[in-house]
């Protein structure tokens, strides 16, 4: 079991959806540290500003696809081409259930595709997924190994 908190980068433009996710994870503040960015460009800026700080470097990302400024697909394209960020674990959390979106997301090497509708009916499933991932997956011991 990993006793260190996991840093979760939430990339979501909708305030209501972001608050729902934050509320769902509220009881796990000691275990999951949430960093919220409202679009892909803001998330890229966050990553670039904090890449050397292990305390705030995200390990897992929850990514919406349909956002202004920089979409989720644009974010994925950018991080997958960059040696510093290409190993970032990304779960898409989208309202889209279109096969084109799902296939395109998996073509960008995401860890999983979650539909907001399903998560909103069972928020504990998202909590369980993130906690299981945090506790069962072996993460590298340093930022050098992570990126």
Beta bridge partners of 93: 114
Does 1 map to a domain? no
pLDDT band at 30 (very low <50, low <70, confident <90, very high): confident
The pLDDT assigned to 131 comes to 85
Least confident of 8-12, 130-134, 139-143: 139-143
pLDDT digits (tens, 9 = 90+) for 41-92: 999 999 888 766 655 566 789 999 999 999 999 999 999 998 888 888 899 9
Domain count, the chain: 1
Please give the span between the terminal C-alpha atoms of the chain, in angstroms, as a whole number.
22
Residue 116's domain spans which residues? 6-146
The answer, yes or no, to whether residue 147 has pLDDT greater than 50, is no
- Class of residue 139 by CB neighbours under 10 A (exposed 0-12, middle 13-18, buried 19+): middle
With DSSP H G I counted as helix, E B as strand and the rest as coil, what are the percentages for the chain, rounded to 5? 45, 20, 35
Does 106 map to a domain? yes
């Amino acid at each position: 079991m990993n006793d260190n908190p996991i840093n979760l980068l939430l990339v979501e433009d909708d305030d209501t959806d972001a608050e729902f996710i934050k509320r769902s994870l509220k009881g796990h503040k000691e275990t999951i540290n949430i960093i919220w960015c409202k679009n892909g460009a803001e998330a890229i800026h966050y990553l670039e500003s904090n890449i050397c700080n292990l305390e705030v470097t995200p390990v897992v990302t929850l990514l919406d696809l349909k956002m202004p400024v920089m979409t989720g697909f644009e974010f994925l394209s950018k991080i997958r081409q960059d040696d510093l960020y290409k190993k970032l674990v990304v779960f898409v959390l989208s309202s889209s259930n279109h096969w084109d979106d799902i296939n395109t997301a998996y073509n960008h090497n995401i860890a999983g595709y979650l539909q907001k509708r399903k998560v909103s009916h069972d928020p504990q499933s998202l909590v369980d997924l993130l906690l299981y991932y945090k506790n069962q997956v072996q993460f590298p011991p340093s930022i050098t190994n992570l990126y």
